[in-house]
């Protein structure tokens, strides 16, 4: 199960479980869904639609059956200057390959170390993607649509880098 041991939640809930729900729904894909940790009536409508589409009781309550049907809702890692490893290397590869004619700033190397040049490339990508340009890759940056069929930064870099929560 992709979302084990999650609490039953519904409208009015707030916090990490709601963020996990929102990320899971965003990966169905529902690229416009924001991750803010608030279970609103609008989110309830999206849950009911997901439940109906998956043969579940469409009651808007997210319990074990709905959690089990959702894609993994764990977060992607937050990346910023000083981060390193394979996820940074994959991010740098993506930023290098996509920069031409789009955000036009590459990290100038694919070494797995998030330094000032990677930060500059991330900021250019964020501006291109219409999110806050702070050089930190968090939920909103991972969710940037790549204007391709159901593709976001997190799907391009790889959801295998989702971290435990």
pLDDT, tens digit, 9 for 90 and up, residues 116-126: 999 999 999 99
Q: Same structural domain for residues 110 and 54?
A: no
Share of the chain above pLDDT 70, in %: 96
Q: Same structural domain for residues 59 and 91?
A: no
Left (φ > 0), alpha (ψ -120 to 50) or beta: where does 85 sit?
Answer: left
Between these two residues, 151 and 130, which has the higher pLDDT value? 130
Closest CA to 137 of 72, 73, 76, 74: 76
Q: Same structural domain for residues 94 and 144?
A: yes
Provide the token pair at 42.
């609008």
pLDDT of 136 reads 98
Q: Same structural domain for residues 50 and 90?
A: no
**Angle formed by the axes of helices 116-129 and 86-99, nearest 10°:** 60
pLDDT of 101 reads 84
Question: Does residue 149 register a pLDDT over 70?
Answer: no
Tell me the residue range of the domain where 54 lies.
16-69
Whether residue 140 is contained in a domain is answered as yes
Q: Same structural domain for residues 31 and 95?
A: no
pLDDT, tens digit, 9 for 90 and up, residues 72-110: 999 999 999 999 999 999 999 999 998 888 899 999 999
Whether residue 79 is contained in a domain is answered as no
Q: Last residue of a domain, which of 7, 39, 69?
A: 69
Q: For residue 1, name the pLDDT band (cuts at 50, 70, 90).
A: low
pLDDT, tens digit, 9 for 90 and up, residues 37-46: 999 999 999 9
Q: Same structural domain for residues 97 and 145?
A: yes
Report how many domains make up the chain. Answer: 2
Whether residue 33 is contained in a domain is answered as yes
Distance (Å, whole) CA 5 – CA 63: 10
């Amino acid at each position: 199960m992709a979302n084990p041991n999650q609490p039953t939640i519904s409208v009015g809930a707030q916090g990490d479980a709601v963020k996990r729900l929102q990320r899971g729904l965003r990966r169905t894909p529902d690229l416009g869904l924001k991750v803010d940790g608030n279970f609103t009536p609008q989110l309830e409508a999206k849950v009911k639609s997901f439940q109906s589409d998956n043969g579940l009781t469409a009651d808007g309550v997210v319990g074990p059956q709905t959690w089990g049907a959702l894609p993994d809702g764990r977060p992607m890692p937050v990346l910023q200057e000083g981060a390193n490893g394979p996820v940074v290397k994959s991010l740098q590869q993506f930023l290098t390959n996509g920069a031409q004619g789009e955000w036009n700033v590459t990290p100038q190397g694919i070494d797995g170390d998030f330094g000032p040049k990677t930060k500059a490339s991330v900021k250019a990508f964020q501006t291109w993607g219409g999110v806050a340009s702070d050089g930190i890759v968090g939920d909103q940056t991972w969710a940037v649509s790549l204007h391709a069929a159901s593709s976001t930064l997190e799907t391009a870099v790889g959801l295998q880098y989702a971290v435990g929560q």
